[in-house]
Amino acid sequence: MSTHYKAEEVFNQLIERKLLVVSKNRQKYIFFILVGIFLVENIVAFFTGVKADYYFLWANLIWLLPFSLYAFFRSHDIAPNTFYFLSSNATIASGMIWEQCSTANVPEIFIIIASAGLIAIHLFVVVKIPFIVAQSLLGLILFTIALRDHFGTPHAVYDFFLILGSVIVAAFTAFQRFRMTLRELIAQTIIYHSNQKLAKQEAEINEKSRQIIEKEHNLRAILDNSNMAIWLLDNKFCLLEYNIKFEQYMWHTYQERVQYGDNFLEKIERFPKAKFWQERFEKALLQGKKQTYVDYYPEFQHYIQVELFPLIVNSEIVGVSIFGKNITKQKIAEQTIQYNQQLLSSISQNIQEAIYRSTPTQGLIYANDAFMKLFGYDEKEAFNLNPEILYVDPQKRSEVINRLLKNEIVKNEEVIFRKKDGSQFWGLMSLIAQKDDDGNIYFDGAIRDISENKENQRKLQEQNEELKKINSELDRFVYSASHDLKAPLASVLGLINIAKMEKNAEMLFHYLDMMEQSVHKLDNFIKDIIDYSRNSRLEIACEPVDLQKIIDEIYENLNYLEKSIFIKKNIRIQAESPFYTDSKRVSIVLNNLLSNAINYHNIRKLNPFINIEATITDKEAKIEVSDNGLGIAHEHLGKIFDMFYRASYDSKGSGLGLYIVKETIQKLGGKISVHSELGEGTKFTIIIPNSIPKTEVFQKQENDQISVQN
């Protein structure tokens, strides 16, 4: 057997049995040492002439002794069971020595060297494994003694090894027993606690492993059951993770199957959206912020919302996580809501009615433009005001709210509201109560301005009342007119018949005079009818009024009255500004008042008079007509302005005069009052608005300023 082969066999045996735990470089050194040992062995065997029978003995002794030295000093390179291997081989060697000795073919020097070598090997080994190897060492010492007895040639080497071995075994065994006992106690304690700790750590590791596995399963279940397509890409756009929805998305949209590690952009590079995806990924990686996009796929009529989140590990962006969700239904709903909102907003802004929403406590929370315009508030003011101030009657809102809370419906209710400027208007209000899912109550209402309608209703009512009055007066007028027209005509006809038979000229003149009076009476009545008709039929004129001229013309026309020349006429007019109104109507009023004053003067008074006092300002004209005539009894004062009313049976008029006066003054927007004492006289006070044009007012103001400056 060659030296190299023997060294390789021993070395492989050491490695296979895991007796060496050294690095690769150190194993190489040990192999070369073994080669050197076996080379020395062959050289010694050659020069000493040792027979082949002793080769195995030498093989064991020569390599075991130096290796035992190496194992003793470099124990950290040697596995624990190496020492068992050394002891085992030493025991085999001792058996072979005994066998060789029994044949008496071995020189004594070889036996001494072999025994000393074996004892030395066991001494080195016993240091590491005292209780196991010490027993074989003791047997080896006894074996050496047996050899000495066998040959009968005592030698100093035997005694030396015998004494040395006995002392070492005795002392070292006692020391190692004590040390091993202490070590065992410490080791058992350490092992116990280590086992406990290891068991606990193992349990914790197992539990954590179980939790990790469970979390992984849960995460996978969550990903696969999500209604979103989820995928993770590294910074090279390769797939790290994805769920089933993503697989479906890739197949339905791009007809592509995917697997881990695929480059997402390469999968979709033939599609136009690939460029957009790359820009999005790069933006997310560069900015490190969430990105949100909504993609529309016309071929499917789908809207997909895509959210990109950067993956950050140790403050470094390593990829992108993408969440894709089909929001088609949501988008359609949003578009429908937006359309409805635009429609409602358009209706709300263009409708003439004031639309609003309020709460029982908070007040207004919505109002359209018509509401702001109707009440005169801007949006900020409207939402901060107390709704009660919108009602003329503050209790009205509380009343309406109580009715709504009782599930009543307020519909087309007429309410008087107040605007910001304090003005009032009639509104037609409708209200309903609404409740949301949280139980919050809202009042949705609409208000339409019906002030014009109410005014029209008022006017219509007044017109109806006026028509009723006119119809009533017309009936009376027809009755009275027929009587008043027939009476003078009948009187004239009667006087004509009498005159035909009368031969006396003086009596004929008397009858003619009576006829004339009847004709004048008929003429006056016809004039009253004409004045009444004109007042009700003709529009009001706005023209300059010369009171002095009108009064003079009236007195001139009344000179035919026989009593007119006996009455003193006083006129005093104080005009601060021009007087503008309907001149003809003023003439009708004054003509009736002055004719009555002349006809009903008191003949018993020595100085009958008629006083006219007028004061004209830029606002109105105040005219007072007073006399010291017969006067009117108090019980008749409230009726003298009625149609065809006569205060006495001997009244000379038609009963239309004062009625026409009142109607005419009301037509001019004025008013008339009367004060009278029976037997003392009567005073009529008339107030007529001055309808002076604005240019006249402006000119008057300029003239006043010039006068003040001068």
Residue type, 274: A
Please report which confidence band the pLDDT of residue 37 belongs to, taking 50, 70 and 90 as the band edges.
Answer: low
- The C-alpha angle 333, 248, 297, rounded to 5 degrees, equals 45
Range scoring the smallest mean pLDDT among 151-160, 529-538, 639-648:
151-160
Q: Report how far residue 347's alpha carbon sits from residue 341's, in angstroms, rounded to the nearest whole number.
A: 10
Above 50 in pLDDT, residue 491? Answer: yes
- What is the pLDDT, as a whole number, of residue 611? 93
Enclosing H/E stretch for 366: strand 363-367
Q: What is the pLDDT of residues 344-389, one digit of tens each?
A: 777 666 677 888 888 888 788 888 888 888 888 988 888 888 888 8
- Over 50: is that where the pLDDT of 202 sits? yes
pLDDT > 90 fraction of the chain, expressed in percent and rounded: 8
Question: pLDDT-derived band of residue 625, with 50, 70 and 90 as boundaries?
Answer: very high
Mean per-residue pLDDT, 117-124:
54
Residue 134: exposure state from Cβ atoms within 10 A (0-12, 13-18, ≥19): buried
- Phi (first) and psi of residue 683, to 5 degrees: -130, 125
Q: What is the mean pLDDT of residues 463-480?
A: 72
Residue 594 has pLDDT above 80, yes or no: yes
How much of the chain, in percent, has pLDDT values that exceed 70?
Answer: 59
Do residues 355 and 431 make contact, with C-beta atoms less than 8 angstroms apart? no
Single-letter residue type at 9:
E
What is the per-residue pLDDT for 437?
A: 83
Tell me the pLDDT band of 138, cut-offs 50, 70 and 90: low
Query: What is residue 612's predicted lDDT score, i.e. its pLDDT?
Result: 94
Greater pLDDT, 334 or 476: 334
Average pLDDT over residues 661-666: 87
- Determine the Cα–Cα distance for residues 396 and 418; give it in Å rounded to an integer: 12
**Residue 247 contacts residue 228 (beta carbons within 8 Å):** no
Question: How many Å apart are CA 539 and CA 582, to the nearest integer?
Answer: 9
Q: Compute the average pLDDT of residues 685-701.
A: 75
Give me the long-range contacts of 69-76 (CB less than 8 A, separation at least 24).
69/124, 70/30, 70/33, 71/124, 71/125, 71/128, 72/124, 72/127, 72/128, 75/128
Q: Which residue has the higher pLDDT, 513 or 124?
A: 513
**Which pLDDT tens digit goes with each residue over 384-432?**
888 888 888 878 888 888 888 888 888 888 899 999 998 999 989 888 8
Residue with more model confidence, 231 or 219: 231
In this structure, are residues 240 and 233 in contact, taking their beta carbons and an 8 Å threshold? yes
- The arrangement of strands across the sheet holding 441-449 comes to 363-367, 354-359, 441-449, 424-435, 410-418
Q: Does the pLDDT of residue 460 top 70, yes or no?
A: yes
**Highest mean pLDDT of the ranges 130-144, 472-486, 597-611:** 597-611
Task: Find the mean pLDDT for residues 272-277.
Answer: 75
pLDDT category, 143, cuts 50, 70, 90? low
Question: What element of type H or E holds 535?
Answer: helix 505-537
Strand ranges (E), 235-290: 239-242
- Measured distance CA(463)–CA(670) in Å, rounded: 19
Segment 73-88 mean pLDDT? 50
Work out the pLDDT band at 68, boundaries 50, 70, 90: low
**pLDDT of the residue at 50:** 46
